[in-house]
Structure 1
Amino acid sequence: MTDDPDPSVVPRLCHLKRSEGQSFGFHLCMYSQGFEITDLDPWSPAEHSGLKDGDRVLEVNEEYVVNMDFSRVVRQIQSCGLHLFLLVLKREEYEWAVSMGVDLKFLANATKGDRWSRPRLCHIQKQPKHGLGMTIVSVDGEKNQYMVRTVIDGPAEKAGIFSGDRLIWINGLMVSTLRYSALIRTVKKSGDSVTVLVIDSDSESCYIRRKIPIMPVVAQSCSLPHKAKTMNLVKGSDGYGFLLRQEKLASTQQKVHVLREVDVGSPAQGAGMEDGDLLLAVNGEPIESMEHEDIVRKIRQSGDKVSLTAISIPGRDFYRELGISPLLFHEDCSHHCIKNWEDAPLRKPTKYNQDREEADSGFYSGYVAEMPETVRIQDPTGHSECCMESSYFTRELSEDLGPLTKISERTHYVYL
């Protein structure tokens, strides 16, 4: 394998920007030699970014993906929010590089420079002795540009921040839009903690040279306080043992999908589900923007095993205030989740289950009213919520559906 590629083979970086609810407008295919872009929508963010039909993907949001599982690559794209960065080669360039034994990872890194590193998204918790453990100072001669100086072994340094780092973003705000006085007020109003995006000066120069905005989507996370959890459920004799409810937050009127009424001793409780968790993904696919019945259908189609990703209400609020998806830094990708329970034994049929399957068709619940009542609920933070729709997963699914296979086995063609 050669580390000296043809200088004419240079990967292209494409920045895709979409609106809320809009797709990026391309299909991702997996072939034996990598991931290919195909069937771009006209006038889409993909076409506008300069992507071309047949481009082969080297990196997604600054992460090398050539040897990555297909389902994980899909999940990374689905959870990145409104911005997506793809490093690509033309099909013929990619195939030439592979045939010549070129190190594709070396080729991708060569576009960045020797002293490049990713920005860091860090959460700092105040301490009585040192406070945040950092001081923000203006950069001489550069308007609205700031750097940080840290206290040795202070909270900021322990959170992953180094003295001399450039401050890019704080609590969801770009600091380049803030005067120094406004920035200091923002820090003081943040209370006992603050979340910042920082980068070293050499790496900042690399991003400026490559004309890439420094954003959380290309960052690595450090010490964030809330994390999504993935629960791998294998159905028991009485189903999974939880209620999925669509509710509307009184404060924002936003619809959320809430896991409720977790049965004691059920597979759901055994997997770590807690009442009030917010559902984020089913088998690795984000579902927050889906309708209730579509989510129920996905769980149904998963058969006797399902992987659910959820987060606490405070955790979802934390990421919402930052303007990023809680799945962005979720490490338990769908392919890991499914592999974890591939070998788990399925439930054994019982006389009760067989009778149910003979008597019913479609989805059976322990109790589902034909028209769910509207119920006022008090959530743990004291905000009133309104129940919109409910589906119980406490009994058998009588529809004969096989378990969901991994995306890479089920299909190699996904619209994003």
Structure 2
Amino acid sequence: MRYTTGPGDATDLPQRFTFNPKEGIDNPTLVISDDTEPALCPRLCLLKREEGEGFGFYLRKETGCRGHVVQQVAPWSAAERSGLRDGDRVLEVNENFVDNQEYEKVVLKVQASGLQLCLLVLRAEDYELAVSEGMDLMALARAYRGEGCARPRLCHIIREPGCGLGVSIIPVEGERGKYYLNPVSEGPSEKAGVQPGDRLLWVNGVMVSTLTHSALAKMVKRSSEFMTIMVIDSRSEESYVRRRLPILPAFASVHNLPHRPKTLNLVQTPQGYGFLLRQEKLSSGQIAHLLREVDPHSPAELAGMEDGDLLLAVNGEQVENTAHEDIVSRIRQSGQQVTLTTISIQGRDYYTQLGFSPLLFYEPTISKTERFPELTLPRKDMHINLQCPRLCVLHKEGTGFGFNLACVQNKTYISQVAAGRAGERAGLRQGDVVMEVNGQNVEEEHFEEVLRVIKKGGTPLRLLVVERGGYETLRKSGLTVNPALISHSIQVPDSTQDHFL
């Protein structure tokens, strides 16, 4: 190939360059830099589940190691559909940075998320690299959202005499269902956190994108004493659109929301805690766990419990949709101390109207020292917690409980646990040895007899099980495998924690 540029000296002609695959490029003016490592790129996983279905993954925490680890993503689950993978490290839950938060708080954030959960995660290799190089993971998460992106805000506006709510709602011209706000200076809305130009997303739990301006005006007018709204600034809204992410209440920062949950730390006396736990149907038709008959001067009354309060969590773990018998069992397993999270009936009604759990923005304050008193076991047995018995309470679904049994060397064990079914939700694991069925010891029973006892037991079905390796360890230690060891599994300091979500 020859280049011509018109008249002139041959030295003016461009040089012809050749490429020899053995020697490389021979262009002296071409500089090739060393390949750089690709930038760490978090992934956004939006999990959507059906009512009564779990998200389909375990969240694990290893003591002494950073990070919350995703494990055992169930096939066909909401987690798998979202792109979540085994080994992923969770950086954010619903736009909240959680890498530096306690495991119990992270679990509660997931449990209270409702039917949609947003996780920002890093691959295991990327996470380990970032930690080893001392990278700022919070800055990495913030960079993913984009500069200047702020979370939506939940603002609780209390009407004031003379100025009402103190805000104008203005429709965006030519865009149906879009409105922006203009608060009165020093008025109730501005005090509640509303800023000029904010986009209005929903009012009292109703999305405004479905409302005409006249319908919206009527809704606001019907708000007698107060109104709770979700707003966002226009720049941040663009970030959510760019990431194709819906703007959910779970993402919001909160401003003076009323009826916050209460944390009650109770220490048992010889007379007990001094209250009754009852399962009742509310006027809305919802089944709830209510605290009743609070005894005067009892630990319950001294902690601030009031008759009619609703129970939300036990020891920081959500129990709103848990069977009554399971809640009683958890309280009893706590030993002499228990932490209850409660809310008033008015508070429950308020959050029901908004469409999310009152635990969504609750920060648990549970003292591990109080919850888990030191256990008088030999030091060599401090790892026994993963090998102690577990009481799994199963409620029958359709044709069964979602597990299969097998027998080896006259020991009945769980051979298979169906994903998402009653057995998995109750905590059964493949390989668990069955010790008791509904309180009856079946350790030495023949396989056919164990099956008969299970079929006869009905629902709920209570199985006392222990991991196969733990069973052998306990046998060698000389300890009798019985429900008395269950509390040990809660109290012994743990090297790992995991929770199915």
Specify the code of the residue in structure 2 equivalent to 1:341.
E
* Contact 2:264/2:303 (8 A) holds in 1: yes
RMSD: 2.3
Specify the code of the residue in structure 1 equivalent to 2:367.
I
Q: Tell me how far 1:317 sits from its aligned partner.
A: 0.4
* Rounded Cα–Cα distance in structure 1 between residues aligned with 2:489 and 2:180: 49
Q: Tell me how far 1:408 sits from its aligned partner.
A: 8.3
Q: Tell me how far 1:344 sits from its aligned partner.
A: 9.1
Specify the code of the residue in structure 2 equivalent to 1:314.
Q
3-state SS of paired residue (1:412): strand
Q: Tell me how far 1:327 sits from its aligned partner.
A: 0.4
What pairs up with 1:54-65 in 2 under 5 angstroms? 54-65=87-98
Q: Match of 1:12?
A: 43
Q: 1:134 to 1:271 in 2, by over 3 A?
A: same
Q: Which runs of 5+ in 1 are unaligned?
A: 346-397
Q: Match of 1:393?
A: none
* Rounded Cα–Cα distance in structure 2 between residues aligned with 1:68 and 1:102: 17
Q: Which stretch of the first structure deviates more once superposed, 46-55 or 402-411?
A: 402-411
**2:111 pairs with 1:82:** no
**2:304 pairs with 1:272:** yes
* Contact 1:234/1:305 (8 A) holds in 2: yes
What pairs up with 1:178-217 in 2 under 5 angstroms? 178-217=211-250
* Contact 1:80/1:325 (8 A) holds in 2: yes
Larger radius of gyration: 2
Q: Tell me how far 1:142 sits from its aligned partner.
A: 2.3
Deviations 1:22-41 (A, max 9, x none): 10000111231311111111
Q: 1:404 to 1:230 in 2, by over 3 A?
A: farther
* Rounded Cα–Cα distance in structure 1 between residues aligned with 2:138 and 2:493: 22
Identity %, equivalent residues: 53
3-state SS of paired residue (2:231): strand
Q: Tell me how far 1:407 sits from its aligned partner.
A: 11
* Rounded Cα–Cα distance in structure 2 between residues aligned with 1:267 and 1:191: 38
Q: Match of 1:358?
A: none
Q: Tell me how far 1:401 sits from its aligned partner.
A: 6.5
Specify the code of the residue in structure 1 equivalent to 2:139.
F
* Rounded Cα–Cα distance in structure 2 between residues aligned with 1:403 and 1:269: 29
Q: Match of 2:466?
A: none
Q: Tell me how far 1:185 sits from its aligned partner.
A: 1.2
Specify the code of the residue in structure 1 equivalent to 2:198.
D
**2:338 pairs with 1:337:** no
**2:500 pairs with 1:415:** yes
* Rounded Cα–Cα distance in structure 1 between residues aligned with 2:489 and 2:203: 40
Q: Tell me how far 1:271 sits from its aligned partner.
A: 0.4
Specify the code of the residue in structure 2 equivalent to 1:412.
Q
Q: Tell me how far 1:245 sits from its aligned partner.
A: 0.8
**2:322 pairs with 1:293:** no
Specify the code of the residue in structure 2 equivalent to 1:319.
Y
Q: Tell me how far 1:403 sits from its aligned partner.
A: 7.7
Specify the code of the residue in structure 2 equivalent to 1:124.
I
Deviations 1:248-272 (A, max 9, x none): 12x3332111101111111000100
Deviations 1:94-135 (A, max 9, x none): 112222222111111101112111111111111111100101
Q: Tell me how far 1:66 sits from its aligned partner.
A: 1.1
Q: Tell me how far 1:405 sits from its aligned partner.
A: 4.7
3-state SS of paired residue (1:337): coil
Q: Match of 2:158?
A: 125
Q: Tell me how far 1:182 sits from its aligned partner.
A: 1.1
**2:303 pairs with 1:218:** no
* Contact 1:24/1:46 (8 A) holds in 2: yes
3-state SS of paired residue (2:335): coil
* Rounded Cα–Cα distance in structure 1 between residues aligned with 2:275 and 2:53: 32
Q: 1:311 to 1:133 in 2, by over 3 A?
A: same
**2:288 pairs with 1:256:** yes
* Contact 1:71/1:408 (8 A) holds in 2: no
* Contact 1:148/1:166 (8 A) holds in 2: yes
Q: Tell me how far 1:143 sits from its aligned partner.
A: 2.1
* Contact 2:334/2:371 (8 A) holds in 1: no
Q: Which has the higher contact order (CA 8 A, sep 6+)?
A: 1
Pick from 347, 351, 372: which aligns with 1:319?
351
Q: 1:90 to 1:318 in 2, by over 3 A?
A: same
Q: Match of 1:375?
A: none
Q: Which stretch of the first structure deviates more once superposed, 301-310 or 63-72?
A: 63-72
Q: Tell me how far 1:84 sits from its aligned partner.
A: 0.7
What pairs up with 1:73-112 in 2 under 5 angstroms? 73-112=106-145
* Rounded Cα–Cα distance in structure 1 between residues aligned with 2:67 and 2:230: 32
* Contact 2:373/2:491 (8 A) holds in 1: no
The alignment of Structure 1 onto Structure 2 pairs a total of residues equal to 357
* Rounded Cα–Cα distance in structure 2 between residues aligned with 1:229 and 1:406: 24
Q: Tell me how far 1:89 sits from its aligned partner.
A: 1.0
Q: Match of 1:366?
A: none
TM-score normalised to the size of structure 1? 0.81
TM-score normalised to the size of structure 2? 0.68
Q: Which runs of 4+ in 1 moved over 6 A?
A: 398-401
Specify the code of the residue in structure 1 equivalent to 2:57.
F
* Contact 2:372/2:490 (8 A) holds in 1: no
Q: 1:106 to 1:245 in 2, by over 3 A?
A: same
